[in-house]
Amino acid sequence: MPKNQLISSPEMEKLDRFYREGGLRHMASPHIHYHDSTCPHPGCEHKMEWIDFQRELFGDTEGIYKSLVRRWWEGIGFVGRCPNCGEWIRFTTLRMEALSDEQARQFPKLPENWHTVA
């Protein structure tokens, strides 16, 4: 029986593009499983393994929801604060990324209480 092999980075990016194209076509609600689920900020051990962003629960589907969903599936992602340390995290289909306040300004933002419905 063959052993599991790691997928190369270019292969992973190709699969991710395929996945995102389908999600964008259907404007599917963003949900994700992160294998590396610990907050990316040093010293914070908060786990965010499975996230269902459920943006529709915030209302304003045209102003907030559609924009965030489109950015998610386009691969840009969006940012929200870690519920534990309060620092900015960029969420994408591939990973979570630690951002500074200045870096976070360029991305669409989740509401402050995003984690209460995710």
Report pLDDT digits (tens) over 44-71.
999 999 998 876 655 655 656 788 889 9
The pLDDT tens digits for 9-19 are 899 999 999 99
Domains in the chain: boundaries: 29-116
The mean pLDDT value for 84-100 works out to: 97
Average pLDDT, the chain: 88
Q: What pLDDT is stored for residue 113 in this prediction?
A: 84
Q: Give the residue ranges of DSSP H helices in 41-109.
A: 66-74, 101-104
What is the H or E stretch that residue 81 is in? strand 78-81
Q: Write down the pTM of the prediction.
A: 0.85
The mean pLDDT value for 73-89 works out to: 96
Alpha carbon 69 to chain centroid, angstroms: 10
In this prediction, what percent of the chain has a pLDDT beyond 90? 64
In the three-class reduction of DSSP (H, G, I as helix; E, B as strand; rest coil), residue 47 is classed as: strand
Backbone angles phi, psi at 32, to 5 degrees: -155, 155
In the three-class reduction of DSSP (H, G, I as helix; E, B as strand; rest coil), residue 49 is classed as: coil
Q: What pLDDT is stored for residue 58 in this prediction?
A: 59
Give the type of residue at 38.
Answer: T
CA distances from 56 to 10, 33, 66, 98, 100 (A): 33, 19, 9, 25, 27
